[in-house]
Amino acid sequence: MKKVRTAICAGITALALSLSGCSNLLSDVSQTSSFSASRSVVVDGSLSIDSSIPIPFGLVADVSQDNLIRLAWGCPSVKPDAWYIYLDGQKVDETSVLKQVEVEAYSGNHVIAVAAVKNGRRSEAEGIEVNVKGRPAPSGNSSGLVSGATYKIIAKCSGKSLDNDNWQTTPGSNVHQWGYGDNQANQQWILRQNSDGSWKIINLYSKLALDAANWGTTDGTNVLQWTDLNNRNQDWFITKEGSYYKIINAYSGLALDVSAASQEDGANVQTWTWNGTDAQLWELTNLSGSNGVEPGNPNPGDPENPGNPVNPDDRGIPIDTNDTLVPRNNGMKVTYQFQNHTRGAFADNQIYIYIICMNQNNVWCYARPDGALIPIGSSSSDTWQYTLADVKNSGFQIPLSHSGRIYYSYGKPLVMWGNGNGVVLPSLSNPADPNYETYFDWLEYTVAEHGFWVNTTQVDQLGFPVLMNVYDNDGRVQQTGISVKREKIWEAFRAEMPNEFKTLVSDYRIFAPCKGAFDNRTGGAYGNYFDAYVTETWNTIASKSQTVTHPQGKFILTGDGNNLYFRCIEKYGEIATAGETYVIRGKPTTSEVFEGYGVLASGNPMELALEAWICAALNRHVAHLEPDAYWNNAAAYYNAGPCNYFSKFWHDHSERGGLAYGFCYDDVNDQSATTFTTNARGVVVRLGF
């Protein structure tokens, strides 16, 4: 499609910047229209790059109209001769005046980019990824592949299978080749076609996507598996080559390739310039029955016991994604449905559901099943509650709303109330709270005009397992949560936790650390848990100068034993200023580390973002290590104590490839299990026990 329309800029939609480390409520990102941070991207090489030409900055894109990308950016101090506009690496327009550019594109994921041009040379191209709605690319699947089906993928050069190395479920784990086994889920891949004809390749066992590492565009780029983020380096064009297939990365244009055409088990898989050799040809065999899983292998594997089949007695919630959604009414953005998977422990009329949120006027409301948002005022929660029996067939219609929480309780209702300006919610750490001996849990959500965020959270507690399926209009499904029986989770937590953390278990819930004995404000027995590590970290930082690369910029990190100093030497985002020094004043207490307040929640926006970054590093026990080597390296997290073992447990037991929301800044380095989509259709919440 790639047709371009340009118009003088009359004011692009104001876009909010993510500060990496927001609270577990999602209201602070509800207005975002640009769906990923800007970054240097590869475009066609018709002009050579001149590093002295300033790179365009402040790039924002609005996709509020079907098939239309509105693009705007900031002007460098030295005005170039022109700006070149690129869509998916190909030049589509140029302009010599600063104006909003409108680019039409088929629906799906695209990278839109700008480069400054002067004297026949250009700057680096700065781009962002957007998800365009509207008309899809012309259909036509000549490959014979079936979207949603499960395949084995065999290299022609070796006869060996594309393989999830060692049954890993952690984003960033490697992919190589290995002899094909007997119904091994780590060697089976779900193919899901995108609207532009490219494919997602999802490992059946880990649920992670085949990914060209670090957006690599050079021969030898490693291929690994990563959380499906709708990124272009996770899309692949698969086309027939005789009786085999070539698999081309949609971002780099490089082919899926067995290194050195090896025939050995464990040989690495990479991307390489297409040359048509046997190392780049693959045999794809459809293994699926009607449910998309290989016949005879209904259970893809047990995350707690890699390589072994799931014991059916361990599963409390089915992990399939074949739900039937209720119709969505006009004016509604998404539907919610709930299912009872408590295995007879609670009847439908013993499960109570409450949806509370802020409407577009920032008034706290409760949601009725028909989508009406009713101001809470001073009402009590018995007015807001519905049983699963009430809504089992209808579900809930959800309009635009933010800061939403969906509570669900078993056996008896929750006791909550409005106080005129807000809502009084259950107090987890207060034994006198009327909800203290009630089984309950919740999820959090925001529905914006062009985006939907939702997460199951363990930031405060886990009451019982919940598995959530988020369905897009195009059929894509994202699954998050825990499917194992409640008693199995409790057994595993007691078995895996250090003694201090075992104190967090009660009959009704597993508490977050500061809802138990780790709170120094209440004199908890382990209220000094992080104190010595904080001092060690602050002293280590004071002893040397280090570089830390943050999404907002590059900083030189130093300290004096009490304060930390981040001097910005390179600006990436809008809240940093090159040459400015940002300060974290004082040392956080144990409670401040666990809950991200006080010392770790003060100062200007850039300081807040840096405080989130080091709060996450402290919880993950990497703060004392070199920032650029370890703070952004998920493989280094939780490998020693003291650390937030409570959070580690949820990452280890997640159905989302190692992603979970275990503490307030667990979104730093994209480790949270928050589900985001611009194309939401419906959510099915499977309530287990």
Read off the CATH number of the domain in which 477 is found: 2.60.110.10
Residue-number span of the structural domain to which 292 is assigned: 150-310
Q: Which residues of 54-71 are buried (b: 16+ CB within 10 A; e: fewer)?
A: bbbbebbbbbeeebbbbb
> Is 650 inside any structural domain?
no
Tokens of 684: 């099915």
Mean of pLDDT values over 548-563? 94
pLDDT at 306 over 70: no
Give the model's confidence band at 303: pLDDT under 50 very low, under 70 low, under 90 confident, else very high: very low
With CA atoms as reference, report the closest residue to 4 among 53, 71, 74: 71
Question: In angstroms, what CA-CA distances link 404 with 26, 336, 337, 423, 445?
Answer: 8, 13, 16, 12, 5
pLDDT of residue 563: 97
Give the model's confidence band at 33: pLDDT under 50 very low, under 70 low, under 90 confident, else very high: very low
The 3-state DSSP class for residue 7 equals coil
> Is 140 inside any structural domain?
no
Percent share of the chain, pLDDT over 90: 59
Mean of pLDDT values over 199-224? 92
pLDDT of residue 453: 94
Tokens of 378: 């001073």
pLDDT at 24 over 50: no
Residues 465 and 573 in one domain: no
Give the model's confidence band at 150: pLDDT under 50 very low, under 70 low, under 90 confident, else very high: confident
pLDDT of residue 133: 82
pLDDT of residue 101: 82
User: With the C-alpha atoms ordered 296, 299, 300, 306, is the resulting torsion angle positive or negative?
Assistant: negative
Give the model's confidence band at 145: pLDDT under 50 very low, under 70 low, under 90 confident, else very high: confident
pLDDT at 558 over 80: yes
Mean of pLDDT values over 128-146? 71
CA Rg value for the chain = 25
Mean of pLDDT values over 393-417? 96
Tokens of 58: 């402040």
> Is 482 inside any structural domain?
yes
pLDDT at 192 over 70: yes
Residues 683 and 582 in one domain: no
pLDDT at 234 over 60: yes
Pick the residue with more confidence: 77 or 644?
Answer: 644
pLDDT at 109 over 90: no
pLDDT at 492 over 60: yes
pLDDT of residue 329: 96
pLDDT at 647 over 60: yes
Read off the CATH number of the domain in which 204 is found. Answer: 2.80.10.50
pLDDT of residue 230: 73
Answer yes or no: are the C-beta atoms of 519 and 511 closer than 8 Å: no
Residues 400 and 426 in one domain: yes
Mean of pLDDT values over 621-639? 91
Tokens of 114: 């700008």
Tokens of 182: 């007997």
Answer yes or no: are the C-beta atoms of 212 and 254 closer than 8 Å: yes
Pick the residue with more confidence: 379 or 13?
Answer: 379
- CA pair distance 569, 553, nearest whole angstrom: 8
Q: With helix as H, strand as E and coil as C, how does 236-301 read?
A: EEEEEECCEEEEEECCCCCEEEEHHHCCCCCCEEEEECCCCCHHHCEEEEECCCCCCCCCCCCCCC
pLDDT at 13 over 50: no
Residues 432 and 468 in one domain: yes
> Is 658 inside any structural domain?
no
What is the CA 548 to chain-centroid distance, rounded? 22
pLDDT at 146 over 70: yes
User: Which phi and psi angles does 171 have, rounded to 5°?
Assistant: -55, 135
Which residues make beta-bridge pairs with 153?
284
Answer yes or no: are the C-beta atoms of 211 and 114 closer than 8 Å: no
β-pairing, 510-511 vs 461-462, is: antiparallel
Mean of pLDDT values over 3-15? 29
pLDDT of residue 2: 36
What is the CA 456 to chain-centroid distance, rounded? 12
Q: Would the pTM of this model clear 0.85, i.e. be above it?
A: no
Lowest mean pLDDT among 39-48, 148-157, 382-391, 484-493: 39-48
pLDDT of residue 75: 63
DSSP summary character for residue 630:
I
Tokens of 492: 């595993």
- CA pair distance 584, 578, nearest whole angstrom: 18
> Is 653 inside any structural domain?
no
> Is 449 inside any structural domain?
yes
User: Which phi and psi angles does 553 have, rounded to 5°?
Assistant: 165, 180
pLDDT at 308 over 80: no
Mean of pLDDT values over 183-198? 83
Question: In angstroms, what CA-CA distances link 114 with 40, 248, 275, 433, 551?
Answer: 10, 25, 31, 56, 19
DSSP summary character for residue 492:
H
Q: Which uninterrupted H or E stretch holds 388?
A: helix 388-391
Read off the CATH number of the domain in which 573 is found. Answer: 3.30.920.50
With CA atoms as reference, report the closest residue to 199 among 314, 328, 109, 331: 109
> Is 365 inside any structural domain?
yes
pLDDT at 385 over 90: yes
pLDDT of residue 613: 94
Residues 200 and 294 in one domain: yes
Lowest mean pLDDT among 125-139, 180-194, 371-385, 663-677: 125-139
Residues 175 and 301 in one domain: yes
- CA pair distance 71, 105, nearest whole angstrom: 13
Tokens of 410: 């078993």
Lowest mean pLDDT among 27-31, 246-250, 371-375, 616-620: 27-31
Residues 127 and 96 in one domain: yes
Read off the CATH number of the domain in which 85 is found. Answer: 2.60.40.10
Give the model's confidence band at 51: pLDDT under 50 very low, under 70 low, under 90 confident, else very high: confident
Mean of pLDDT values over 669-681? 90
Question: In angstroms, what CA-CA distances link 416 with 300, 426, 598?
Answer: 41, 7, 28
pLDDT of residue 21: 30
- CA pair distance 314, 329, nearest whole angstrom: 38
The 3-state DSSP class for residue 499 equals helix
Give the model's confidence band at 507: pLDDT under 50 very low, under 70 low, under 90 confident, else very high: very high
Question: In angstroms, what CA-CA distances link 454 with 166, 343, 481?
Answer: 31, 26, 12
Answer yes or no: are the C-beta atoms of 645 and 638 closer than 8 Å: yes
* Half-sphere exposure (Cβ direction) of 633: Cα atoms closer than 13 Å: 13
Residues 498 and 538 in one domain: no
Residues 505 and 370 in one domain: yes
pLDDT at 16 over 70: no
Name residue, tokens 């200023």: 577
pLDDT at 10 over 60: no
Residues 374 and 473 in one domain: yes
Residues 475 and 612 in one domain: no
> Is 21 inside any structural domain?
yes
Give the model's confidence band at 148: pLDDT under 50 very low, under 70 low, under 90 confident, else very high: confident
User: With the C-alpha atoms ordered 381, 383, 384, 387, is the resulting torsion angle positive or negative?
Assistant: positive
Residues 282 and 373 in one domain: no
pLDDT of residue 377: 95
Residues 6 or more apart whose Cβ sits within 8 Å of residue 434: 415
pLDDT of residue 178: 92
Show the CA angle centred on residue 648, arms to residues 646 and 654, nearest 5°. Answer: 105
**642 upstream amide cis, omega within 30 of 0:** yes
Q: How many domains does the chain have?
A: 4
Tokens of 560: 């004096």
pLDDT at 64 over 60: yes
β-pairing, 221-226 vs 581-584, is: unpaired
pLDDT in tens, 218-227: 999 999 999 8
Name residue, tokens 């012309």: 138
Answer yes or no: are the C-beta atoms of 192 and 199 closer than 8 Å: yes
β-pairing, 680-688 vs 334-341, is: parallel
